[in-house]
């Protein structure tokens, strides 16, 4: 399987990955996160863990558990870290600590290298038995709600290193080494391979899309940070100029997001009365369907108000689509305004670039070509895996990854 990437990344890059992996083969490695399916973290681990095993590494992946009270707390942490506003449930810190202890008693934490993903399992560090621990933060922590940040920072500083997705998320008030590693997509996954045209049409037809009309697509959870209501408002503005425009907002549930139903209900209300708006809640692992919607889209949106990275941006760019993205978090790493897509700050801007894209097909084609190359050079899973392994070498004292100290996008 790993050899199949050669035609995309070249033999030299693959040789480098294999050589780094050779130096980690005597370590046991564990990834820990909060959900097996739903969202970018689970998606990356679903692809990366098997690839690491194929490289000969002794890698496991465990998922913490929790009841609704715990995930309400972690969702409130997530929001407060990204928005800088605190709205926590009662006894939030006590509930969080209780579930860290429960999970610590149930998970094997005696690995040589443990990578903890996001705040949900962050507190497991208090039950460390051995090895080197890395905290991988996938969300925006540039302007956190201070009481929550202080609570988590005390734990973060017990780690050997932390990883964030973009330089703007790095923290001046944390003493441990920090590395900048953007997330990635897997070009060989079902979600990103080239689909036959008939498959794309069949899927879109199945979900009621008129194949003769232009299609605006956003693939996102029903999450306030993804601004689904804002997407619909932008669509409505654009529709005044493109009367036959359709919108498909395609989401899926996640076990660690108790807020999803509330956001979905508000989105349904905003969409009422327009038969050209398709709100879809697909089950996890609907990768073929997601691929089909991105491939069949005339324009793709990722109008996030806050965003750790936004894998769906790179997914669509890999398919040579123009993506209109919110100017936040990791989206500007992917979208170079006017070259690999368009960045927007508000609903009016989003509507403008929907219309602009649909009325300028030559520009769309050129941006699509640029977008795919930008992803090829910077946001594929092979680069991501190489950089994770480099940090693992660093924390175990086997080498210092100088290249990671000054990351430069190609």
- Domains along the chain with CATH numbers: 2-184+380-404 (3.40.50.2000), 197-378 (3.40.50.2000)
Among candidate residues 34, 50, 54, 30, the one with its CA nearest the CA of residue 42 = 34
Among candidate residues 115, 177, 117, the one with its CA nearest the CA of residue 397 = 177
pLDDT of residue 220: 93
pLDDT of residue 401: 60
Contacts of 222 (CB under 8 A, 6+ apart): 228, 251, 260, 261, 263, 264, 267, 281
Q: Treating both helix axes as pointing N-terminal to C-terminal, what angle do 311-318 and 287-296 enclose, rounded to 10 degrees?
A: 60
Give average pLDDT by consecutive 10-residue segment, the chain, 410 residues. Answer: 91 92 96 88 94 97 96 94 91 98 97 98 97 96 96 98 94 94 95 97 98 97 93 98 97 72 92 96 91 98 93 97 96 97 98 98 97 96 95 88 53
Among candidate residues 145, 188, 178, 165, the one with its CA nearest the CA of residue 4 = 188
pLDDT of residue 90: 95
Contacts of 69 (CB under 8 A, 6+ apart): 89, 95
Among candidate residues 126, 129, 118, the one with its CA nearest the CA of residue 155 = 126
Q: What is the C-alpha radius of gyration for the chain, rounded to an integer number of angstroms?
A: 21
Q: DSSP letter string over 172-217?
A: TT--S-EEE----B-TTSTTTSPPPHHHHHHHHHHTT--TTS-EEE
pLDDT of residue 403: 57
pLDDT of residue 259: 77
CB atoms within 10 A of CB 176: 16
**Over pLDDT 70: what percentage of the chain?**
96
pTM, whole model, 2 decimals? 0.88
pLDDT of residue 109: 95
User: Quick check: helix, strand or coil at residue 277?
Assistant: strand
Among candidate residues 208, 193, 408, 226, the one with its CA nearest the CA of residue 318 = 193
pLDDT of residue 408: 46
Residue with tokens 């030559």: 362
């Amino acid at each position: 399987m790993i050899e199949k990437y050669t035609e995309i990344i070249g033999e030299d890059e693959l040789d480098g990955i294999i050589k780094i992996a050779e130096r980690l083969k005597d370590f046991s490695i564990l990834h820990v996160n909060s959900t097996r399916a739903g969202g970018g973290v689970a998606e990356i681990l679903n692809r990366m863990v098997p690839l690491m095993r194929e490289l000969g590494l002794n890698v496991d992946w465990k998922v913490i558990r929790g009841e609704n009270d715990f995930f309400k707390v972690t969702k409130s942490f997530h929001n407060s870290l990204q928005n800088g506003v605190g709205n926590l449930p009662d006894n939030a810190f006590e509930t969080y600590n209780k579930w860290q202890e429960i999970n610590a008693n149930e998970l094997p934490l005696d690995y040589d290298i443990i990578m903890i993903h996001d705040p949900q399992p962050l507190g497991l560090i208090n039950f460390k038995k051995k090895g080197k621990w890395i905290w991988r933060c996938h969300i925006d922590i540039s302007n956190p709600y201070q009481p929550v940040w202080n609570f988590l920072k005390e734990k973060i500083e017990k780690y050997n290193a932390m990883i964030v997705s973009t330089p703007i998320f790095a923290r001046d008030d944390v003493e441990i080494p920090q590395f900048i590693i953007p997330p990635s997509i897997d070009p060989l996954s079902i979600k990103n391979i080239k689909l036959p045209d008939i498959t794309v049409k069949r899927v879109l037809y199945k979900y009621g899309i008129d194949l003769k009309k232009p299609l605006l697509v956003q693939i996102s959870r029903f999450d306030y940070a993804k601004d689904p209501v804002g997407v619909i408002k932008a669509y409505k503005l654009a529709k005044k100029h493109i009367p036959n425009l359709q919108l498909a907002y395609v989401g899926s549930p996640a076990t660690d997001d108790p807020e999803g139903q509330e956001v979905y209900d508000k989105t349904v209300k905003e969409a009422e009365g327009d038969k050209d708006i398709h709100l879809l809640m697909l089950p996890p692992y609907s990768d073929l369907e997601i691929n089909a919607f991105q491939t069949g889209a005339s324009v793709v949106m990722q109008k996030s108000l806050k965003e750790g990275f936004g894998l769906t941006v790179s997914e669509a760019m890999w398919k040579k689509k123009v993506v209109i993205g919110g100017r936040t978090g990791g989206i500007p790493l992917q979208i170079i305004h006017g070259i690999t897509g368009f960045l927007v700050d508000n609903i009016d801007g989003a509507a403008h670039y929907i219309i602009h894209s649909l009325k300028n097909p030559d520009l769309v084609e050129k941006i699509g070509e640029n977008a795919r190359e930008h992803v090829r050079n910077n946001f594929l899973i092979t680069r991501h895996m190489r950089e994770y392994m480099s940090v693992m070498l660093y924390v175990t004292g086997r080498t210092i990854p100088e290249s990671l100290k000054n990351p430069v996008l190609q």
